[in-house]
Every structure is written in C-alpha cells, then in structure tokens.
Amino acid sequence: QSVLTQPPSASGTPGQRVTISCSGSSSNIGSNIVNWYQHLPGTAPKLLIYGTNQRPSGVPDRFSGSKSGTSASLAISGLQSEDEADYYCAAWHDSLKGYVFGTGTKVTVL
C-alpha cells in the first residue's frame, strides 16, 4: 500500500476550483519536493507539477501545487471537462530510498 494518501475522488462543475490533498510523512513530503501526474484512461501519465509548484512547459496555469509540512495539494482552478482524469502525487521517500506514488484521486467534472 502507498505511503502517500489521497482522497479517492473529487468533483466540481465547470469553472469551479477543485483541490486534491496528498498526505505523507517527514520521510517523504516533509523533506522532499512533490510531483503531480495527470492520468487519462488509455494514455501514459503526464507530469503536471514538478518541484512541488513548478509547471512543465505546456501545462496550463490553472494547475498549481503547494506543500505545507507533510502534506501537499494540487489545485485546479477554472475546472474544464478535459480535466476529468486520475491525479497522483509522488515524492522521494528517504528511508525507503525509493520513489512513491500516492493512492490516486479521480476527478469528475459534473
């Protein structure tokens, strides 16, 4: 089981702001940067946020990441239908010396 915990689902109407949480520990989120991935069914995951709050080229600024202590968050503002996907947080885990993914959150646009 994952050491990074996310809510299984989140939803909103078009234009709304949706926030996804990712809860970890001092061994992962608390001491390392966080990445976020968007995963649409049948496609490869896409790196959405790196370095906790940086967006790769081409990712809309509607997506933003933050971190406080041992928890991180992904915010989607101005929700759009194409944002309907699974979202995963991930981080380096110091004591495991490995990369861990969160449990994943399915975002539904109502």
Query: Where does this chain bind other proteins (CB under 8 A)?
Result: 2, 31-33, 35, 37, 39, 43-47, 50-51, 56, 86, 88, 90, 92, 94, 96-104
Q: C-beta of 50: minimal distance to other proteins in Å?
A: 4
Neighbouring residues of 70: CB distance < 8 A, sequence distance ≥ 6: 23, 24, 25, 26, 28, 29, 30
Task: Output the smallest distance, CB 9 to other proteins, in A.
Answer: 13
CA torsion sign for 30, 31, 32, 33 is positive
Nearer to other proteins by Cβ, of 15 and 20: the residue is 20
